[in-house]
Structure formats: C-alpha cells, structure tokens
Amino acid sequence: MKRAVIGLTILMGLWLILGMIVPGLPVAQEVTSDEASATPAVTSEPTRSETEAALYPMSHERKELLISYSQFTNQWRFISFGLGILTLAILLVTGLSAKFRTWAYKARRRFFVIFIFFALIMIADYLLNFPASYYRNFVIEHEYGFSNQTFQAWLWDDIKGLLITLVLGVFPVWFFYWLVGYMKRWWLAFTLGAIPFIIALVVVAPVVISPLFNDFTKIEDPQLESRLLELAGRAGIDDPAVLQVNASEQSSKLNAYVTGLFGTKRIVLYDTMIDNFTYDEILFVMGHEMGHYVMNHVWWGVGITIVFMLFALWLMDLLIHPVIRRFRRAFKFDSLEDIASLPLVLIFVSIITFAFQPVTNSASRYMEHQADIYGMEIAGVPGETAAIAFDKLSVFNLSDPNPPELVEFWFYSHPALSKRMEFVRSYQPTGQL
C-alpha cells in the first residue's frame, strides 16, 4: 500500500485504524505482538526451528544488524515525511494538480470528475514516490534479511494497494468536496459522516482486504487451535475463527492479532510465529491481543480516530485559506472548493498528523500496557518467560528494545520492549480475570 495508501489514511484519519485496529494489512508497523511462555514446556510442543536456532539468542552479528536497522528506521521516519510533503508540493507548484482537474472536468458527472482527478493524483504521487518506496520496502528489507518476495511479487502487492486506495479513497474525497462546497462547518459534517465508513472498514478489512495480500487458512496444528480456543473462551470471545496466514511469503517478521467486529471475529497468527515460538509463548501473544478485543480497544481506537480527525480538519480549515489566497496564482486555484486543492489538503493534514503523533501514540501505548497486563493475567505466564518472549521479538524483528526517549515518545505506538520486559518481570498476577 505504501505511499499511495497514506493519502487516504491521512485524509480520513484511518492511519490509526489501519496501523492498530485492523492489523494484517501490508503497511509499515511498529512491532505489535508480545509473547511469553505460560507453563513448563510440554513434550508435544514444537521443536525449535532452524530459523530460531540461528537467530536466538542474539549473536553479536545480529545485534549489529539490529543497531543498524534501528538507526536507519529512525532516520527514515523523518526522510519519508519530508519526501511525502515534497511530492505533494511538486504536484501543486508545477501546476499538475490544476492540469489534472482540467482533464477530469471533461467527464460530465461530478462523481466521475472526482474519481478521475483522484486517480491521476494518486498515480502521480505513487510514481514520484516509487524510487523511495522501492528502496525502503524492497531493497532495505532484503538487505536486512526480512523480505522473501521477488520484485514482481512485491510490485504486484504495491499495485494492489494503489488500486484499493483508488476504489476506497474516491468516496471520502467526493464527500469532502461536496461538503466544502455546501457548508461552512464541513469539517464537523465530514467527521460525522466518516463514522460509518470507518466502522465498515474495520469489519470488512479482515475478511475482504487482507486476503487480497495473503492466504488465511484454518490453523494446521489442532493442539494449538484447541489451546487458543480455550483461551478465547476464558476471555469471553465466542466462536472466533482461528487462522494462520502465510506471511512468510512476504517477510520473516513475526506478528499475531485478534481483529474484527460482530461476525468477523478472528484470531490470526503469522506462520513465522507458529514456526518459531512455543505454544505457551503464543498463548501469551494471544492473551495480549485478546485483551485489546475484550477491553474494547477497537472502539476506543475508532473514538480516538474520530476525535483526532475532527480536530485535524478543523485546524486545517483554520490555516489553509490564507495559504490558498497567498499562492493562488502558483497553484492555479483560489478556493478550497476547487478539487485541485487536494494535494494541499493532504500536506496540511500530514503536518498536523505528524505534529500530534505524540498525543495519539501516548493513548496507544497506554492501551498496549493494559493489554500486557491482561495477557499476563489470562495466560498465567511467568514474568521471566514473558520477558524472554519480548526479547525474541527484538531479535527476530530487529526491534530496538531501548530506543531514544524522543523517538519512543514521538513515534512508538507501543512501549519500548525493554520497559515491557521490566514490567512483566515484576508483575504479580492478581487472578481476578
């Protein structure tokens, strides 16, 4: 999905939903899973895979890779933000946005005008960002031993992401410009109107969008399935689908999640995690993820998204009009109502989103901490085992357990792994679940 999807996620505030509430999509994420062993190992547990034996415990060479990858990732956060603003600015100052608007108006119906214009903007943005996307998501991921995809497979996933953006994105963009042309407080109406769209996306994404990128199948290990269903029963999650996903076809990174609303509840494990973690470690992972579900973090996430979207769009409306008046000749449009203003809208909301990440990420880190507590309680894991599991995440995903404080504060949606390890080592379960 890469940069093209960011256009939609920024506009809708769906960056939070896609990154936290609807995991499993091929978007860049922080490490999301936590794990630990619950009871003494049993003889039926899987043996250590060749991958685990090679990577864990961490070797000196692996640690050097972790340091290098973490440094690159921290730098790339700022580089990618700057490149995103730059490419949108190019679309504005070169007059491409205005030219695309002129071409789009050859269509008669307003909706098709919006669709043509949006498609041209997203395709142009995709092409301008393609070199950086290729470098970050293909070259670097191969260089550090994560990606298992050929260029053709990676490119096809990337293009599928763009196509999904075009199909889903046209509706909020059309709604946005319809409201801007008809009411002063469009930002309030847009946010309220986006609520059913957001909820629908949370329901539909796990069963419609995610399978476009991976195969989701019934978990192959019946004993593991039985233990996960037992854990779900203790958590009060009735009749979830227990699935494994062939994430290893794309990357060696590890993850797992519980997602869905209403009839789309599903427990999902990456095959990479099944291959490299014991049953009890997986139970702790899922105890944490079930905590998100049971404590209604999905709905809290939706609420945070809606509140932030309202604030971001209100602030954008406050600031954007003087900029349009000042640069109307260069931009070749003179009002927000003009669809050619879309790149400028995305620039403003991108900057606002970037600036307020500490606020939204703080809320996310709080929910992650609560899920850690829930995982410890429901899975009954020893603290040291949970800490070892966090350490495994660090080793396998090259996740820095001790990021700089500013980086964690600004960018991390999860507490630093070292802090989580320290917490689980000292936590004493209350047995109240």
Please check whether residue 299 lies inside any domain of the structure: yes
Percent of the chain with pLDDT over 70: 86
How confident is the model over 110-121, as pLDDT tens digits?
A: 999 999 999 999
**Strand spans (E) along 140-184:** none
Of the listed 30, 289, 368, 377, which one is catalytic? 289
Confidence of residue 28 (pLDDT cuts 50, 70, 90): very low
pLDDT score at 233: 92
Token pair belonging to 98? 């205005």
pLDDT score at 45: 53
Please check whether residue 137 lies inside any domain of the structure: yes
- Give CA–CA dist 100/89, Å, rounded: 15
pLDDT score at 24: 38
259 vs 2: which has the higher pLDDT: 259
pLDDT score at 301: 87
How confident is the model over 270-283, as pLDDT tens digits?
A: 999 998 888 888 88
- Give CA–CA dist 241/236, Å, rounded: 14
Please check whether residue 367 lies inside any domain of the structure: yes
Asked whether residue 7 carries a pLDDT value surpassing 50, the answer given is no
Confidence of residue 49 (pLDDT cuts 50, 70, 90): low
Asked whether residue 68 carries a pLDDT value surpassing 80, the answer given is yes
Smallest CA-to-CA distance from 38 within 395, 359, 331, 278 is with 278
320 vs 266: which has the higher pLDDT: 320
Mean pLDDT in the chain? Answer: 86
Asked whether residue 99 carries a pLDDT value surpassing 70, the answer given is yes
pLDDT score at 382: 87
Confidence of residue 32 (pLDDT cuts 50, 70, 90): very low
How confident is the model over 132-162, as pLDDT tens digits?
A: 999 999 999 999 999 999 999 999 999 999 9
Percent of the chain with pLDDT over 90: 68
Please check whether residue 431 lies inside any domain of the structure: no
Average pLDDT over residues 222-249: 90
Q: How far is Cα of residue 161 from the mean position of the Cα atoms in its chain?
A: 13
Amino acid in the structure at residue 285: V
Asked whether residue 193 carries a pLDDT value surpassing 50, the answer given is yes
Please check whether residue 433 lies inside any domain of the structure: no
Average pLDDT over residues 30-35: 36
Average pLDDT over residues 428-433: 82
Of 187-191, 227-231, 331-335, the range with the lowest mean pLDDT is 227-231
Please check whether residue 83 lies inside any domain of the structure: yes
- Give CA–CA dist 328/334, Å, rounded: 5
SS3 218: strand
Asked whether residue 417 carries a pLDDT value surpassing 90, the answer given is yes
Full DSSP string of 368-429: HHHHHHHHHHHHT--HHHHHHHHHHHHHHHT--SS--HHHHHHH-SS--HHHHHHHHHH---
* Total of domains in the chain: 1
Average pLDDT over residues 318-341: 96
How confident is the model over 239-271, as pLDDT tens digits?
A: 788 899 999 999 999 888 877 666 667 888 999
Task: Determine the structural domain holding residue 103 and report its residue range.
Answer: 2-426
Burial of 130 (0-12, 13-18, 19+ CB in 10 A): middle
Confidence of residue 50 (pLDDT cuts 50, 70, 90): low
256 neighbors 282 (Cβ within 8 angstroms): yes
pLDDT score at 12: 43
**Could you confirm whether 64 is annotated as catalytic?**
no
Please check whether residue 432 lies inside any domain of the structure: no
Asked whether residue 369 carries a pLDDT value surpassing 70, the answer given is yes
Confidence of residue 2 (pLDDT cuts 50, 70, 90): very low
Asked whether residue 41 carries a pLDDT value surpassing 80, the answer given is no
pLDDT score at 51: 57
Asked whether residue 102 carries a pLDDT value surpassing 90, the answer given is yes
Neighbours of 329 (CB within 10 A): 8
How confident is the model over 11-22, as pLDDT tens digits?
A: 444 333 333 333
- Interacting residues of 184 by C-beta distance below 8 A, sequence separation 6+: none
